[in-house]
Structure 1
Amino acid sequence: MATTDDSFNGLTEYCEDCDLETLHEVSVQIRTESTKEENAQFSREPYRVCECQRCGNRSSQRMNNA
């Protein structure tokens, strides 16, 4: 689970690669999931993307599982 502390960005999370709680950059991206052009506007979904600032490991998770 993400926590806040006195670091610059303030978001620390557990990193499986580092096996430590490290500073992470977290953002939300809207991604198009459809490969068909005519349906692309209806297939956008939010993803939570986090990147470890120590090792660079990046992961994403779909936020809407409707």
Structure 2
Amino acid sequence: MATTDDAFNGLTEHCAHCELDTLHEVSVQIRTESGKEENAQFSREPYRVTECQRCGNRTSQRMNNA
């Protein structure tokens, strides 16, 4: 579970690479999933992207996985 940290604009989360709870920068990116240009406007999906501020490991997770 993520927690807020008042020392920095980020979240404290578990980093699988560091195997510790570390400060992460978290953002949401809209990514185009279709390789076909004519359908690209209909294939955009939100992804939650986290980057560990200790080791730099980045992970992304599709947010619409129902």
Same fold (TM over 0.5): yes
- Give runs of ≥4 in structure 1 deviating > 6 Å: none
Residues 8-52 of structure 1: per-residue CA shift (max 9 Å, x gap): 124100001111110000000000000000000000000000000
Structure 1 CA distance, aligned partners of 2:62 and 2:42? 16
Aligned residue in 1 for 2:18: 18
Please list, as runs of the form range in 1=range in 2, the aligned pairs for 1:30-41 lying within 5 A after superposition.
Answer: 30-41=30-41
User: Unaligned 5+ residue runs, structure 2?
Assistant: none
The percent identity for this pair of structures is 86
**2:49 corresponds to:** 49
Q: How many residues align?
A: 66
Gapped regions of structure 1 (runs ≥ 5):
none
Provide TM-score, normalisation by structure 2: 0.93
Matches within 5 A, 1:53-64: 53-64=53-64
Cα deviation for residue 7 of structure 1 reads: 2.1
1:10–1:27 CA distance, 2 compared to 1 (3 A): closer
User: Normalising to structure 1: TM-score of the pair?
Assistant: 0.93
SS of the equivalent of 1:38 reads helix
